[in-house]
Structure formats: structure tokens, C-alpha cells
């Protein structure tokens, strides 16, 4: 019943080597045998075994997907989901399938990502996370396995990364606030452990200073993560502090949405009482009231480029290559004019 290369060879009356060459599209096979063997493969519904091939070649045609970190950014964060979606499409186009490593503690080979990559002989990895390196990621980064980081600066010889220009992003936000007449600016980030959040914050501070404005630490708050409830709580803290900033930049759209919920509860109007700008441009920005002005990260592009970079890393042993993507300000209703 179940077919293998040997049976196909027998039925066709050729050698196993010949069948193998046909499967792998070698050119030095006569059209006649090729046609015959291909037809038999079709009729019998034969499919080559990936494990046998992987064992023989050391290539699995599998890409490991790693959601790392305590922030537990999983499928639930819209930004990463969309990047991953685009990445998956492009990798599929290049002939790869995706292996998602579960990050449960109880798993046979715990958080040890390098071990699991070797176990499955993945050809490369995409590492998605918005926070600092944990040891297991760092180990993988510095191994010989090609890795591409999204929003995480990998440094290994066979690694690369892609992220938005976080400094420029913050500059654009401050510039927009400034031009709209906002002067007293606040920031709501993720945890203090998030590199991404910190980069945006530092860029924000630099930009504020470059516009000759004062930086008021009281309006700089970190939350627990990039999700909505965290933004809600952070904004409540700012409100309860007594003195309100004129505008707040939030490290993610979900944080911004949470912040707006807190403001609404306190009968503060956006953008009249306070201007809000988010980050990511997830779909939800268009559905909130008011709609959310935000920094668009081109998720489709980030995913596609991540795939290309990884593909090059896998095939050309190409140089470490990092890409930063230009962020774009999307103006909607949550940040009006104060003039």
C-alpha cells in the first residue's frame, strides 16, 4: 500500500538512483524514463518522505518560528501576527514550511531553542520578540543556524534583523505634535525590559529636546506589556497624578486604545483635552472613536523582507544584513490642532 522510492523503482524497472534524480529534477535523465517514472509516481500517489530526505541531506526545508520572551507575545498581538502572515506567504513561495516551537515549560527540550533547531534540523529561524535577549535566544543567535530577528537586534555571523526606524518614528511623532501646537508631551511604553519600547522612548526624548521643549518625567510611564489593559492602567496613573500632558505618544496602538478608554471614563476628550498617537497601525485604529492617529509600520513589507533576508542567509551564506524600514505617520482624528 504505502509507497517508497524502492517500489517505484521496481515498478518502473529502473534504479533507485534514477528515481531520486527524477524527484530532484536532475537534467541528465532521458525524457522517456522521466515520463514513465513520473506517471507511476502520479498513479501510486507516491510522496517522498521528508524525514529520510532530511536525514540524508541535513536540510529540512523547515523554518523555525520562535516567539520568545516573558512578554508572551504570541499570536495575539496584531502587529506580529500580520508580519508573520506576510512572512509565511513569502516563505511558502520559496518552498518552505513553518515550524512553530511551542514555548511550554513541560516540553521535552525546554526553552533551549538551539537544541530544538538541531533536533528538527530547521534550515533557518525567525525570532519574533519585542524584548531583550534571553540566554537561549542569544545562544541560537550566535550559532551557525541562519536567524532573522524582527524587532530584535541579532548579532551573530549568520544572523540579521529587521525593524522600523524607531528613532525616526519618535521624531515624526514629536514633529507632528509640535506642528499641531502640543507642547507638553507624555509617553506610555511597555515594560522597562522592552528594547523596542525603550528605543522609542529615548528617540522621543531626544526629539523633544531638539524641538527645544521640556521633558517632564512625570508624564513618562511604563506599563506591563503592549496590550490594551496596560495602556488603560498607565493612563489612569497619569490622570491621577493630577497634572495632564497635552499629548501622549503610546508605544503600541493597543496601549493607545487602552489609554483612550481611561480618558473616556474620566470624561476627558480626545483630541480636545489631550492628543493621542499610537504605533503599528493595526486594523483597529480605523474602528475606534475617535479614529487613531498612528505610526504605520509596514507589516507586509517587514514580513516579506524578513523572508528574503533569511533566504539569502540560508543559501548564499551572505553577509549579515540588517534592514530598517521607514515608518509613516498616519493622520486620523485622535490628534487634532491646538492652535
Interface positions with DNA (CB under 7 A): 2-6, 13-18, 20-21, 23-24, 27-34, 46-49, 52-53, 55-57
Is residue 99 close enough to count as binding a copy of itself by CB under 8 A? yes
Is residue 311 close enough to count as binding a copy of itself by CB under 8 A? no
- Work out which of 15, 289, 315, 317 binds a copy of itself, going by CB under 8 A: 289
What is the smallest separation between the CB atom of 252 and a copy of itself, expressed in angstroms? 13
Which of the listed partners (a copy of itself, DNA, none) does 288 bind, with a CB threshold of 5 to 8 Å by partner kind?
a copy of itself
Is residue 60 close enough to count as binding a copy of itself by CB under 8 A? yes
Give me the DSSP letters along 168-217: HHHHHHHHHHHHTT--SEEEEES-TT-HHHHHHHHHHHHHHHHTTPPP-G
Q: What's the rounded Cα separation, in Å, for the pair 133 and 193?
A: 10
What is the smallest separation between the CB atom of 193 and a copy of itself, expressed in angstroms? 22
CB 8 within 8 A of CB 19: yes
Is residue 101 close enough to count as binding a copy of itself by CB under 8 A? yes
- Work out which of 88, 176, 304, 332 binds a copy of itself, going by CB under 8 A: 88
Grid cell for residue 298:
509596514
Instruction: Please give the residues from 139 up to 168 whose contact with a copy of itself meets the rule CB under 8 A.
Output: none
Is residue 104 close enough to count as binding a copy of itself by CB under 8 A? yes
Judged by beta carbon, residue 14 or residue 314, the one nearer DNA is 14
Is residue 103 close enough to count as binding a copy of itself by CB under 8 A? yes
Look at residue 280 and give its three-state secondary structure. strand
Distances (CA, A) of 211 to 179, 185, 320, 338: 11, 12, 36, 17
Q: Let me know how long the chain is.
A: 339
Judged by beta carbon, residue 111 or residue 168, the one nearer a copy of itself is 111
| Beta carbons within 8 Å of 277's beta carbon, 6+ residues apart | 173, 176, 177, 247, 248, 249, 250, 256, 292, 293, 294, 295, 334, 335
- Write down the H helix ranges in 211-284: 228-240, 253-265
| Beta carbons within 8 Å of 324's beta carbon, 6+ residues apart | 162, 163, 164, 165
- Work out which of 10, 39, 97, 265 binds a copy of itself, going by CB under 8 A: 97
Size of the residue set binding a copy of itself (CB under 8 A): 53
What is the smallest separation between the CB atom of 331 and a copy of itself, expressed in angstroms? 18
What is the smallest separation between the CB atom of 205 and a copy of itself, expressed in angstroms? 29
Amino acid at each position: 500500500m504505502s509507497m517508497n522510492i524502492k517500489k517505484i523503482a521496481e515498478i518502473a524497472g529502473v534504479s533507485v538512483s534514477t528515481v531520486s534524480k527524477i524527484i530532484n529534477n536532475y537534467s541528465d535523465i532521458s525524457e522517456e524514463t522521466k515520463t514513465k517514472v513520473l506517471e507511476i509516481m502520479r498513479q501510486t500517489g507516491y510522496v517522498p518522505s521528508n524525514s529520510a530526505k532530511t536525514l540524508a541531506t541535513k536540510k529540512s526545508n523547515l523554518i523555525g518560528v520562535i516567539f520568545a520572551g516573558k512578554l508572551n507575545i504570541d499570536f495575539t498581538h496584531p502587529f506580529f501576527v500580520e508580519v508573520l502572515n506576510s512572512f509565511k506567504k513569502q516563505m511558502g513561495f520559496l518552498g518552505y514550511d513553518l515550524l512553530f516551537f511551542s514555548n511550554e515549560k513541560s516540553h521535552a527540550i525546554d526553552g533551549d531553542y538551539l537544541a530544538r533547531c538541531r533536533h528538527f534540523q530547521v534550515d533557518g529561524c525567525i525570532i519574533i520578540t519585542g524584548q531583550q535577549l534571553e540566554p537561549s535566544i542569544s545562544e541560537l543567535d550566535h550559532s551557525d543556524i541562519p536567524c532573522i530577528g524582527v524587532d530584535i537586534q541579532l548579532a551573530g555571523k549568520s544572523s540579521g534583523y529587521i525593524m522600523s526606524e524607531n528613532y525616526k518614528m519618535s521624531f515624526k511623532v514629536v514633529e507632528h505634535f509640535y506642528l499641531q501646537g502640543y507642547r507638553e508631551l507624555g509617553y506610555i511604553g511597555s515594560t522597562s525590559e522592552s528594547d523596542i519600547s525603550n528605543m522609542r522612548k529615548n528617540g522621543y526624548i531626544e526629539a523633544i529636546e531638539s524641538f527645544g521643549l521640556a521633558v517632564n518625567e512625570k508624564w513618562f510611564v511604563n506599563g506591563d506589556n503592549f496590550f490594551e489593559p496596560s495602556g488603560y492602567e498607565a493612563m489612569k496613573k497619569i490622570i491621577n497624578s493630577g497634572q495632564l500632558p497635552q499629548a501622549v505618544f503610546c508605544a503600541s496602538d493597543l496601549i493607545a486604545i487602552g489609554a483612550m478608554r481611561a480618558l473616556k471614563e474620566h470624561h476627558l476628550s480626545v483630541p480636545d483635552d489631550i492628543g493621542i498617537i499610537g504605533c503599528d497601525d493595526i486594523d483597529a485604529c480605523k474602528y475606534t472613536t475617535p479614529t487613531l492617529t498612528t505610526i504605520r509600520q509596514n507589516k507586509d513589507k517587514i514580513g516579506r523582507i524578513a523572508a528574503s533576508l533569511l533566504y539569502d542567509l540560508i543559501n548564499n551564506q551572505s553577509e549579515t544584513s540588517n534592514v530598517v524600514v521607514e515608518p509613516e505617520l498616519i493622520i486620523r482624528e485622535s490628534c487634532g490642532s491646538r492652535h
